Amino acid sequence: MKNEKSIFDEVNLVNLKAKNRLVRSATWENLAAKDGEITPELYEMTRQLADGGVGTIITGFTSVSQNDIHFGGMMRLGSDQLVPSYKKLTKIAHAKNVRILAQLALGGYYEKASENFITFEPDELSKEQIENIVSLFVAAAIRAQEAKFDGVQIHAAHFFFLSRFISPTTNHRNDEYGGSTQNRARILCRIIKGIRQKMPNFHISMKLNMSDMTPSGLEFNESSQIAKFAADAGLNSIEVSANGTSQTGVKAGINEAYFYPYAKALAKSLDIPVMLVGGHRSVQNMNRLLNDSKIELLSLSRPLIRESDLINRWQNGDLAPAKCISCNGCYRTAGHQCVFNLK
């Protein structure tokens, strides 16, 4: 008889062992100092999440470049001087037996010119600049390991820089980094191989759009090919997402898990664990998803903004759905706090 999977199962992935299947999906908090230093507010937020029972935390958007000015308040791992600040962050998670991954990202590729910054889109990059981008990600991953992170997640979704690079909507290059799906995915594979070469036993995850939800953008068939190229390059897990995340009007038992069809299909065809984000609100439905598919991990963002101790509540027997009503009011507050929690 097949054993039923539960969200509370311990999981043992390649290079990553977690106390349950629940992950705090990367959530940009806009709370880091200008240089990327961790602030007291970020330490406290991480402490609350770790105390709340989640098995794994993925940090908010953590830029690999100190020149990235895509938006303010970003965490960064573009300088060796930041490592001690991030080591304190991982210590908070590990004290509660919580695994923690650094989400490595690039909002845009910027180069400093005099007092200003010049931005470059995928079509405008020289091969030397592409080499520099690969090096930025590898160097940031090395710093993440030095800071005692359990792994990294490469952010290749939501139309940030890597997402734009791999999308046919925004990449029109005619060299080995453009044209075919494999060519556009080459930068991802080089980043993954570069990290893997330096750190053979480090968990490497990736967040990927299964649909760009835009004309001529990535759709599932092509995204699943990119996922396979990444897995062959040394990826250990993948989080399924799409543009159009943070959908409103999610109701428990009615329209949960809006990216589930993508994740179910990808998990069936891929040999590495698949993580699903987007619209999880009830234990019953999450357990059903796990048992009706090969999905291994479920990640949450907004429900943990509303209730940082949600996982403990569920594990202690209160199985009422998450209190998050998907209003997205948190995106209009300082530090992305739930409007219902503000005093």
| 160: in domain | yes
Q: Which pLDDT band, with edges at 50, 70 and 90, does 334 fall under?
A: confident
CB 301 within 8 A of CB 267: no
Residue 307 lies in domain: 11-332
The amino acid sitting at 219 is E
| 198: in domain | yes
Ramachandran bin of 30, using left for φ above 0, alpha for ψ from -120 to 50, beta for the remaining angles: left
| 343: in domain | no
Pairing of strands 99-105, 75-76: unpaired
Look at residue 1 and tell me whether its pLDDT is greater than 60: no
According to DSSP, the residues that pair with 276 across neighbouring strands are 240, 298
* Nearest in space to 224 (alpha carbons), one of 275, 170, 262, 184: 262
* Nearest in space to 104 (alpha carbons), one of 160, 50, 49: 160
pTM above 0.85, yes or no: yes
| 55: in domain | yes
Percent helix / strand / coil, the chain, rounded to 5:
35, 15, 50
Look at residue 245 and tell me whether its pLDDT is greater than 70: yes
| 101: in domain | yes
Mean pLDDT of 220-249: 95
Give the model's pLDDT for residue 335: 86
| 154: in domain | yes
The phi and psi torsions of 297 (rounded to 5 degrees) equal -135, 150
CB 230 within 8 A of CB 186: no
| 339: in domain | no
Number of domains in the chain: 1
CA atoms within 13 A on the CB side of 178: 18
Q: What is the mean pLDDT of the chain?
A: 96
Give the model's pLDDT for residue 200: 96
> Considering only 69-73, 75-79, 152-156, which range has the smallest mean pLDDT?
69-73
Share of the chain above pLDDT 90, in %: 92
Q: Which pLDDT band, with edges at 50, 70 and 90, does 47 fall under?
A: very high
CATH number at residue 289: 3.20.20.70
Give the model's pLDDT for residue 2: 67
Tallying the residues shown for the chain, one arrives at 343
Q: Which pLDDT band, with edges at 50, 70 and 90, does 3 fall under?
A: confident
Tokens found for residue 190: 């080089």
Q: Is 238 helix (H, G, I), strand (E, B) or coil?
A: strand
* Nearest in space to 276 (alpha carbons), one of 337, 181, 210, 204: 210
Look at residue 25 and tell me whether its pLDDT is greater than 70: yes
Mean pLDDT of 284-298: 98
> Considering only 129-138, 246-255, 288-297, 310-319, which range has the smallest mean pLDDT?
246-255
Look at residue 244 and tell me whether its pLDDT is greater than 80: no
> Cα dist. 110→117, 120, 156, 244, 263 in Å?
6, 6, 17, 26, 33
| 66: in domain | yes
Q: What angle do CA 277, 314, 41 make, to 5 degrees?
A: 65
The 10 Å Cβ neighbour count of residue 198 is 13
Give the model's pLDDT for residue 97: 98
Mean pLDDT of 14-21: 97
